[in-house]
Structure 1
Amino acid sequence: MYPGYCSDTGSIAPERCLFGVMLTISAFLGVVTMFVRYKQVEALIPLEVTIRRWNKTGLALGMISCFGLCIVANFQKTVFIYVHVLGGILSFGFGALYISIQTILSYKMQPHIHGKQIFWIRLVVLLWCWFSAASMFFSTVVLHSEIHGVEVLKKLHWDPQEKGFTAHIICTVSEWSLAFSFVTFFFTYIRDFQNICIHVQVQLQEPDPHTSWPDSETRHEKSLLLAGSL
């Protein structure tokens, strides 16, 4: 259950315009980071079938999470409430699963590939993530049970004296805490990414002799999306 209180200040113009732009950029950066991490693990342990499966599953979950973030950015809670909630569930739910899988990969890759220290750091962040998610869920349940006949998800202004205010604050803090746990987890990639080199490789090929091109000098370009060296 996703209340969307982080989105309160991004529900009206012009704040929602900036909110949408920033979250869309964040989603793009998240996709790039997850893809680089995927290629890194693939290059480090290319023959381990189990790790390769975990790695592919993690990438898929990460992409879904970033897609959910785009939905949150472009469908405001006061306009498309159910679509916005769906985006939040995809973003936070699948994002937490992505962090879980990457922590498992760190455990399986230690001590030869990953040090034990980085695994324990990621495990702590993972526990932080799930604790925040659980706190947000239960506080949302309490909030909805305390307030009846009010569209809580569309409520933007709260009075400290009104019923449900405490649960609202706990839920909001938990949601921000969950978001910061995601950012912190990405920070743990910094040292890993310092050990790899990424470049785009372009190969020029001769045209197919059976294909008629108006210009005989035409060349086909084939770009490898990512070529990494460790």
Structure 2
Amino acid sequence: MKFCCFNTLAIVPVLWSVLMFLGFVSGYIVAVTLGHLEPFVPYISDLGLNAPESYIFSAVCTLSAILGAITMYGEYKYFKLSNPNGKDLHNKIILGNGLLSCVGILIAGYFQEFEYEYVHLIGAVLAFGQANLYAICHCYYYYKLSLWKDNTRLFLFRVALASSLTSIFLCLSLLFIGCKIYDHSCMLADWDFPFRQECATMEWFELIGICIFLLTLKKEMQQLGFRVPKSLKEDWIVKTEKCYDDVEAPEDPISG
């Protein structure tokens, strides 16, 4: 019996990255065209304030969370298959960070800033903060397992990108904290927030950086395939060379 199998899961992080970037950019174009937002520079969250761009925003957040969860689990399986005899704690921590980021995307997508300001802010912090932490932990574990030796340039690029994303996120956090200390309104919905344009610009750079990091995950995911196992106890995600291992040999024809 031949089991169904997708030869590679590389399309998943690529689809996630492209969908998230083009989806938010499309929502931005619609919002600016209809006069709902100023061209320079709205928060990404502002795309969820008015219809029809709010529908695009919610749909993109939902699909991004689903594709993100698949990608994070795929990376978890890749590390597990690359180090079958090692401890799984670090790998589970990385998976947890990634899934929390996906939860943050959903929260930010469905709790809009004008109606649920603090809930939306928690979602945004989870989405960006956990994504940054995921990138850092991913680089660390990649280095620990010596997987970086197969592609040193890609590893160094990821480290530089993760460091840049973390720096941007820390700058955003410090601006909000500093604003709160000096008794200014720090909410995203406040158009008088003194660093609104700076924070919005850094937020878009953060999004672009995360999308680029996601594209680099294609390298690991292309080594994984999806198959329908014989039983639920077997792995659904396996190395690509094992996708068609479970093929029964054809029966010999009965001689007459």
TM-score, scaled to structure 2 = 0.70
Q: Deviations over 1:180-202 (max 9, x none)?
A: 22211111111222223222213
Map 1:85-100 → 2, pairs under 5 A: 85-100=121-136
Q: Does 1:179 align with 2:179?
A: no
Hey, what's the Cα distance between the residues in 2 that align with 1:70 and 1:122? 26
Map 1:17-166 → 2, pairs under 5 A: 17-49=55-87, 52-110=88-146, 114-144=150-180, 148=184, 152-155=187-190, 164=194
Kindly tell me: are residues 37 and 127 of structure 1, through their superposed partners in 2, closer, same or farther at Cα, counting changes over 3 Å? same
- AA aligned opposite 2:82: L
Kindly tell me: are residues 120 and 43 of structure 1, through their superposed partners in 2, closer, same or farther at Cα, counting changes over 3 Å? same
- AA aligned opposite 2:92: K
Displacement after TM superposition at 1:140 (Å): 2.7
Kindly tell me: are residues 133 and 36 of structure 1, through their superposed partners in 2, closer, same or farther at Cα, counting changes over 3 Å? same
CA contact (8 A) 1:75 1:84 kept: yes
Q: Deviations over 1:67-109 (max 9, x none)?
A: 1110000010011111111111211122211111101011112
CA contact (8 A) 1:16 1:76 kept: no
- AA aligned opposite 1:42: K
Displacement after TM superposition at 1:57 (Å): 0.7
CA contact (8 A) 2:142 2:148 kept: no
TM-score, scaled to structure 1 = 0.77
- AA aligned opposite 1:188: T
Displacement after TM superposition at 1:122 (Å): 1.1
1:154 match: secondary structure = coil
Q: Does 1:229 align with 2:228?
A: no
Q: Does 1:13 align with 2:51?
A: yes
Deviating above 3 A after TM superposition, structure 1's stretches of 4 or more consecutive aligned residues are 111-114, 141-148, 222-225
- AA aligned opposite 1:118: L
CA contact (8 A) 1:31 1:63 kept: yes
Q: Which runs of 5+ in 2 are unaligned?
A: 1-41, 241-256
- AA aligned opposite 1:181: G
2:51 match: secondary structure = coil
* Identity within the alignment, %: 25
What residue in structure 2 maps to residue 210 of structure 1?
none
Hey, what's the Cα distance between the residues in 2 that align with 1:98 and 1:121? 15
Range 11-20 or range 78-87, more displaced: 11-20
2:237 match: secondary structure = strand
Count how many residue pairs are aligned between Structure 1 and Structure 2: 199
Kindly tell me: are residues 15 and 112 of structure 1, through their superposed partners in 2, closer, same or farther at Cα, counting changes over 3 Å? closer
Q: Which runs of 5+ in 1 are unaligned?
A: 204-221
Hey, what's the Cα distance between the residues in 1 that align with 2:186 and 2:198? 18
Displacement after TM superposition at 1:227 (Å): 3.2
What residue in structure 2 maps to residue 214 of structure 1?
none
1:170 match: secondary structure = helix
Kindly tell me: are residues 227 and 142 of structure 1, through their superposed partners in 2, closer, same or farther at Cα, counting changes over 3 Å? closer
Displacement after TM superposition at 1:7 (Å): 0.5
Hey, what's the Cα distance between the residues in 1 that align with 2:186 and 2:202? 20
Q: Deviations over 1:137-157 (max 9, x none)?
A: 233345556774x574223x5
